[in-house]
């Protein structure tokens, strides 16, 4: 009897341990392909990538990638534009569906990639979820007499060596997107754009963390904008944003019981 009780207790502990290791999910989840991209047109972002959005060869390369992503069969597409521009966004998308040869004056990844994915997949719904909030990511250069500045400086020294090791100018569009969607690259962007700032402060203050919090807040509002869109259990959502936003969203989407995150690199081929 005593041995049986011990076995039951051990089994109970093992089952509880397994349950704690698995994420909590609803019975039916919304599948999400959360894809990071470099900006293919003009961007006010600090980091840009050389890419001629009007070059026909570049457009063809992006459209080839769109063919693979369209195999995900998204029913909803989410892009990095402001929600108050949704009416214009949806109108432009409908025009593109009817005339994929149309020209855009200043195309970005929205028109070049998201629109083409949607056209090929027959997606009817597209929304923007962006939210603007500025922050001083260079505060480490302003507060350079604190204990964290050496850590800040070392980080960017490592970053410089990585950029030399993996020069983006020698990569194809597909290779850039594949790299952008690796866990290590997304972690690097979180560090570079926000978390590194937690090392920057003067005694008794948290100036760097205060600035980083603004970027966290921006992305939280964007995530809230996503959650305000009505989705059914059988919807399949393709999210296309700059990779820093993608990295933030990964944290919340993977923990959410509502969503099931699909491996993006399964479709980047």
**pLDDT for 51:** 65
- 151 with 235, same domain? no
Return the closest-CA partner of residue 70 out of 30, 123, 108, 110: 123
Residue pair 49/176 in contact (Cβ under 8 Å)? The answer is: yes
**Taking a C-beta distance cutoff of 8 angstroms, is the pair 50, 38 a contact?**
no
As for how many domains the chain has, the answer is 2
- Tell me the pTM: 0.86
Q: 129 and 149 share a domain?
A: no
Q: Per the domain annotation, does 18 fall within a domain?
A: no
Buried b (16+ CB within 10 A) or exposed e, 122-153: ebebbbbbbbeeebebebbeebeebebbeebe
Among 77-91, 110-124, 139-153, 197-211, the least confident range: 139-153
> pLDDT (tens digit, 9 = 90+) per residue, 103-141?
888 899 999 999 999 999 999 999 999 999 999 988 888
Per DSSP, the chain holds a count of helices (H) and strands (E) of 11, 5
Give the per-residue pLDDT at 37. 95
Q: Does 76 share its domain with 171?
A: no
- In this structure, are residues 262 and 253 in contact, taking their beta carbons and an 8 Å threshold? no
Residue 143: name the closest of 62, 201, 80 by CA: 201
**Does one domain contain both 47 and 68?**
yes
Residue 122 φ/ψ region, left for φ over 0, alpha for ψ in the -120 to 50 degree band, beta for the rest: left
With respect to residue 6, please indicate whether it lies within any of the assigned structural domains: no
Does 95 score more than 70 pLDDT? Answer: yes
Same-domain check for residues 163 and 230: no
Most confident of 19-33, 70-84, 151-165: 70-84
So what's the pLDDT on residue 267? 96
């Amino acid at each position: 009897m005593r041995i049986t009780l011990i076995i039951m207790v051990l089994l109970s502990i093992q089952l509880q341990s397994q349950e704690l290791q698995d994420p909590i999910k609803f019975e039916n989840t919304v599948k999400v392909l959360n894809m990071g991209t470099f900006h293919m047109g003009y961007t006010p972002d600090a980091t840009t990538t050389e890419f001629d959005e009007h070059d026909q060869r570049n457009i063809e390369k992006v459209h080839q990638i769109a063919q693979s992503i369209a195999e995900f069969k998204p029913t909803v597409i989410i892009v990095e534009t402001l929600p108050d521009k949704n009416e214009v966004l949806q109108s432009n998308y409908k025009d593109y569906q009817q005339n994929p040869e149309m020209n855009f004056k200043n195309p970005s990844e929205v028109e070049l990639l998201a629109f083409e994915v949607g056209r090929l997949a027959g997606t009817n719904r597209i929304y923007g979820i962006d939210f603007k909030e500025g922050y001083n990511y260079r505060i480490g250069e302003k507060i350079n007499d604190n204990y964290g500045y050496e850590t800040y400086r070392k980080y960017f020294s490592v970053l410089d060596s990585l950029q030399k090791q993996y020069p983006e100018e020698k990569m194809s569009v597909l290779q850039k997107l594949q790299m952008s969607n690796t866990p290590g690259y997304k972690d690097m962007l979180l560090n570079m754009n926000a978390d590194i700032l937690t090392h920057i402060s003067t005694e008794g203050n948290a100036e760097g963390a205060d600035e980083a919090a603004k970027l966290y807040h921006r992305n939280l509002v964007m995530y809230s904008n996503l959650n305000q869109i009505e989705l059914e259990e059988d919807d399949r959502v393709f999210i296309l944003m700059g990779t820093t936003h993608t990295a933030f969203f990964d944290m919340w989407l993977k923990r959410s019981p509502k969503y099931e995150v699909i491996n993006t690199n399964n479709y980047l081929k």
